[in-house]
Amino acid sequence: MENTAQHTDMIRTEAQRIGFGFVGFARAEYLDEEARRLETWLRQGAHGRMSYMENYFDLRVDPSKLVPGAKTVICLTFNYFNPEKQQDPEAPKISRYAYGEDYHAVVKDRLHDLLAYIQSEIGEVSGRCFVDSAPVMEREWAQRAGLGWNGRNTLTINPKRGSYFFLAEIICDLPLLYDEPLRDHCGTCRRCIDACPTEAISPEGYFLDASKCISYLTIELRDEIPPEFRGKMDHWMFGCDVCQDVCPWNRFSEKHAEPAFEPHPDLLQLSKHDWQELTEESFGKVFKKSAVKRVKYAGLKRNIDFLEK
């Protein structure tokens, strides 16, 4: 037990030293209740055209399928909040998380550094790193590890820093001291529900119809955006921050300290006209290492054109 406590403290200290914010530890076990909720969500078609959400169900709910002999899910947050906004209030909007370099690469590099540290300091530890690109139920693990509660907008909310952070995990076969979940602090607040431009959040919250979510429509959906959303996109061309912007807990957000997340010098200065006239060359320059490249030039132009119709 003494070694377990020491290892837990070592990992938390090192994780925060290399840039992670909150660090929590959850017992790696089958997600029984979460599996039932996921089944319901899929059965209702709330995942839209994201057919990949139907794949690898057993891996999503059982960490031992990803790492044999898994004992612990190390859960971490990585702050991306930036108080700066686009200068032209009429310009199509981009979510804060995509201001800088693609978080998948930035955060995963830190995770690999942390896993290497664990292996060098503790010995033979088998583990895998995950950042929003594998069948891992990140928010459920974050909740179990005490990093926050899953709010009415379905995002993980931490009472000290709000929700403007990425979630990341290391699933490993090292036993550690496990944290207790935090209780829900949404109370009677309905700001996210009332503010959602497309009514993607259910009337009581805690359930998101992704097929109506602006982030889904502008990023995940490869087909044309359905005409019923015309005039309801709140001028978002990539992602959406509405349910976070209105969340009272985000008054505690602080600017990130990650240089890679700083926006390209031109990004926040582009006017509405600049976006309308965006060329493929400019797109490649401004979004060279950005997550926006996922939708490609044609996808972003589709989104911008839809806003203008």
What residues are labeled active site?
132
∠ CA 216-213-300, nearest 5°, is: 40
**Burial of residue 128 (number of CB atoms within 10 Å: 0-12, 13-18, 19+):** middle
What's the CA gap between 230 and 233, in Å, rounded?
A: 7
Contact between residue 306 and residue 238 where contact means Cβ atoms under 8 Å apart: no
Closest CA to 140 of 238, 16, 24: 24
The DSSP 8-state label assigned to residue 155 in this structure reads S
Contact between residue 73 and residue 169 where contact means Cβ atoms under 8 Å apart: yes
Q: How many residues are there in the chain? A: 309
Helix-helix angle 2-17:103-122, to 10 degrees: 140
What's the CA gap between 99 and 287, in Å, rounded?
A: 9
What's the CA gap between 184 and 188, in Å, rounded?
A: 11
∠ CA 292-149-137, nearest 5°, is: 55
Tokens read off for 302: 């589709």
